[in-house]
Chains A and B, each alone.
Chain A
Amino acid sequence: AQSVTQLDSQVPVFEEAPVELRCNYSSSVSVYLFWYVQYPNQGLQLLLKYLSGSTLVKGINGFEAEFNKSQTSFHLRKPSVHISDTAEYFCAVSAQGGSEKLVFGKGTKLTVNP
C-alpha cells in the first residue's frame, strides 16, 4: 500500500517570492510520482511527473520537483510565484506495474499575496 504526506496544509507567500511545497511518501513497492494543481471549482491538472531518469523534473507554469529516493520525498518548487499560482496542490503516487490508481496527499493550499 502507498501513502502520501503533504507536510503543510497552507502556505502563504508574497508575489515573486520562491516557494517549496513538501511531499513525502511511503510505499512497499516502487512508485511513480505526480503533482497536480486544482484551481477553485475545477478538476485537477497535471503539473509534472517523475517516472525514471533525472531526479529533477520540470513541469508547466515554471514549476519543478526533485525526487529523493533515500528521503522518499518529491518536493515541488517555483523560484518566483505569481498571483495566478494561488490554488490547491496535490502530490500523488501510483505503484509501478499496477493500475493507474493514484494515491493522493491531503493537499497544500498555496496563497500568493500581492
Chain B
Amino acid sequence: DTVLTQSPALAVSPGERVTISCRASESVSTGMHWYQQKPGQQPKLLIYGASNLESGVPARFSGSGSGTDFTLTIDPVEADDTATYFCQQSWNDPYTFGAGTKLELK
C-alpha cells in the first residue's frame, strides 16, 4: 500500500504562513487530496487533484506538488484553522490517508 507520511504537529501564530507536507512512498501523480478535520466533526474536503481548491473553501488554502511530494499551504493562518489536516491519495489501490498533521495556533 502507498504510505503517506505527514509531520505530526505544527504550531503557528495567526497571520503567519504555514506549509503542511505529505510525502508518498511511491508516485501518486497528482492524485492527492487534502481534508480538514476539527474535533468532533467529519473531515471536510479542501483541495483535490493536488492543487484544485474545493468550492467554498477560502483562497487562503492552496495545494501543490506531484509525484511523491505535496504541500498544503495556509496563508494567512486564522484562529479557525485549528484542526488536523489529512492528505489522501487515490492514484494507487487501495486509497490511503496520511496520519494527519495537527495544527495549533500560538
Is A bound to B? no
Residues of A within 8 A of B (CB): none
